Chain A
Amino acid sequence: MSATAPAAPRPFEAHVKLVDRIGEPLLRILSALAGLLAVVLLVWIAETMFDQASPAISRFGIGFVGSQVWDPVHNNFGALDFIYGTLVSSFVALLIATPTAIAISIYLTELAPRIVRRPVAILVELLAAIPSVILGLWGIIILGPFLGNHLEPFLHSFLGWIPLFAGTPSPFGMLSAALILTIMALPIVTSITREVFQTTPAELKEGAYALGATRWEMVRTAVLPVARPGIVGAVILGLGRALGEAIAVTQVIGNATQIKASLFAPAGTLAAQIASEYQSANPGLGQASLIYLAAILLVISVIVNVVARLIVRRSKVS
C-alpha cells in the first residue's frame, strides 16, 4: 500500500464498504441462528413431546412403561406390549443383519473382483433408498404371504418345539416385521463396516499372510479384531434405524396389543402403534398416551444414537 494518507473513499468504494458492513455481520448472524436451530430443534422436539404427553404422564406415571393394557374404551394405556415388540423385532433384525453385513463387507473389501466392487456397494446402499412404505407394500403382498404360507409352516414343522416357532403361521407378525427391518438396517451396517474394514493397516494384513494364513484366516486375525469397535458402532446405528421405523412395520406386523413368545404372532412396536392410530386416537388421554409412546421412542432413539456415534467416532480416530 502507498505511504501517503489514503484519499477519501470514492462513491463506489463507499458503497462497497457499506454493503460489507451489513453483509458480514448479516451472514454471521443468519448462519449462527441456523446453527442454533440445529441445537435447539432437538430440545424443542423433546420439550413438545413431553408437554403434549403430560396428561398421560401425570395419569400413568412411569408405570406406563410396565403396563400391558391398551384400552381406549376405558382410557387405560400402557406401553409394555410395544416396548417388547420394538426390542424383539429390532433385535432379531440386527441378529440377521450383522453377520450378513460383515460377510458382505468382507466380500467387498477382499474377495470381489475390483471392477465389481463399486457397483455392488452402490446396489447394497440403494436398498436404503427404497421408501419404507413401498417396502411395507411389498411386505404385505409378497413377503407376508410367502412367510405365512411357506416359510413359517416349514419352520414350524421342524422347529415347532421351540416357543419362538410354536405359534400359528401368519403373514402378519413379528417375523415379517423383523425381516423387513433387516432389509432396512443392512445397508447402514454394511456401509460403515466396509469403511472400517478399508482402514485396516496393510501391514497387519501382510503380517498375517506372512505367517501362512489363508485369506479367511487373515481376515479373522488382522481385520476383524481391529474392526470390532467400528462394527459395534455400525450395529448400534442400524439398531437405531430399526427401532424408529413406523410405516413398514405397521404394515406387516399386525398391530396387535399382545406379548407372545412366538415370532409368528402379530405384535406391535412403539413406532407402529403410533402410526396405526393416527386417524383414530381420541383427543385427550388417548392422544396423550400415543404421544407418550412417541416420547419414549424419542428417548430410546436418542440414547442409542448417541452411544452409536460415540463408538463410531472413537473407532475411526484410533
Chain B
Amino acid sequence: MIWSIAWKNVWRNRKRSLIVIASVMLGTTAGVFTTGLIIGWVDQRVKVVIHTEDAHIKIHSPAYLSNEEISNTIQQSDAIAHYLDKMPEVKAYSKRIKLMTMAATSRGNTALLLQGIDVMKEKQVSELYTQIIPNGGNFFENAGSYPIVISEKSAEQLRIKSFQLSESKIDSLQKADVPGDVLAKLNPILNIRYNTKNLFRKDVEKYLSKKEISNYGFAINKASEHFRLRSKIVFTLTDKQGELISQSFRVCGIFHTSNSMFDQLNAFVLQKDLAQLAGMGPNEFHEIGVLLHDNEATKSVQQDIKKHFPQASVLNWMELAPDAGIITQYMDLYNYIIMGFILFALAFGIINTMLMAVLERTKELGMLMAIGMNHKRVFNMIMLETVFLTLVGAVAGMLLGWIVIEISSRTGLDFSSVGEGFEAMGWPAIVYPRITFNYFVGITLLVIATGILASIIPARKALKLNPVEAIRTDN
C-alpha cells in the first residue's frame, strides 16, 4: 500500500508537482531527441562508409598500407576471390586497381586517386553509382573510350562545372514555384556562362534583391549548374616500370557523396583502361572491397578471412574509417551521458520539491512513525513518491520525444546551412533521427536511479523527525 500512498501523495500539491513534471518532461524530450539525432547521424555516416566508401571489409597487401607503391598488389588475389565466392555471408566483392595521379584541364588541376573498377562488380558493392547528380551524366553506361567518373568537387576544381541559365532552366524554375517576375529580372544574364559560383552570384546580386536571393537563390543556383560532360582531363601517372605516362580521359559522370574528403580524392575509371596504362597484369589488384549481407557479421568474417590468408591485410570499416568506428563504439555511452547530465540538472528541482513536501507533512510523518512505520518503510514511501514524480515527467517526455523523432524522421532534418562544414568532416547534412527501444528502457532506468538518489536528502530529513515532537500539538 506504500506504493499507493506514494502515488497519491504526488498529486497532493498539484501546482507544485506540475512544475517539476513539466521540467522533467522538457529535459527528457530534449535528451531523447538529441539521442535520436545522434543515432540518425551515425546511421547515415555508417551507411555511407559501408555502402559508398569502404564496404564492410577491405583486403590489401600489408606492404600497400605502409607504402602505396603500384607494385604492392595483393598476393593470391585469385585464391582470395575464390574463397569469397564460397562464403555465404559475403554478398559481393569488387577488385580494384588504385593509382595516385595528377589531373589537369586547361583551367585547373588537382591530384586524384584513380580507382580502376569492374563496373558490374563495383555496383554490387558500392552505391556510388546511385549518387550521380542530376544532369551529371551516368556511371559508365555508354562508355566510349577512356571514360571517367569524377566528383562534383573535382569538377569544380578542374573548372568543368559552370553556371548558366537557359530558357529551359528558367522553365524548370518556374515549375518549381519561383515567381515569374523574379525570373524575368534575370533576363540580362540569360545564356551567359560563368566559371565559378561566385562570379555567377555576383551578377545575380545585381538584379535581385536580398530577400529574393534568400528565398530563391539556392534554387536558382542549383538549376544553373552545368557540367561539361565529355570534357577531357589529362592524367599524369607513373606506371609499373616507373615511367611517366600521360593519358586523357573523358568525363562520363559526376557524383556527389556526403563526404567531401572522399569526393576530393577519388575518381573512377574502367579497370582495363587503367591496367593497360599502368602496365599491370590481369590478376594484379591493390584492393578488394567486400560487402556482407549483415553488418553484425563483419568481425567474424574478418577473422575468418585473416585465418585463411594470414599474409594479407584484412581491415573492417571501423578500422578503415576510425571516426565512424569510434563514434559507433562510444555512441551509447555518449547518449547516456547527455541524458545523465540533463537528469542531474533536474535533480536540484526534484530535491527541493520533495524536501518541501516532507516538511509540510511533519505531523503526518510523526504519526506514522508513532503507530509503527519503521525507517525502511518511511524511506520507501518517500523514495517511491520521488520516483513517481520524476517518472511521470519522464514518460511524458519520452512520448513527446518519440513523436518528434517520428515526425522529423519522415522529412529529415536539414542542416545544409552548416552543411559544408559537416560534409568536410564526412558527415551528412541531412539527418533522419532514429531511436531504439532499449534507449527508452535505459532512460527509464536512469530516471528511476535519479529519483532514488534525489530522494535521499528528503528521506533523511523525514527519518530524523522525532515522533514525539512531530505530533506535539500546541494547546
Partners in one complex: no
Interface residues of B (CB under 8 A from A): none
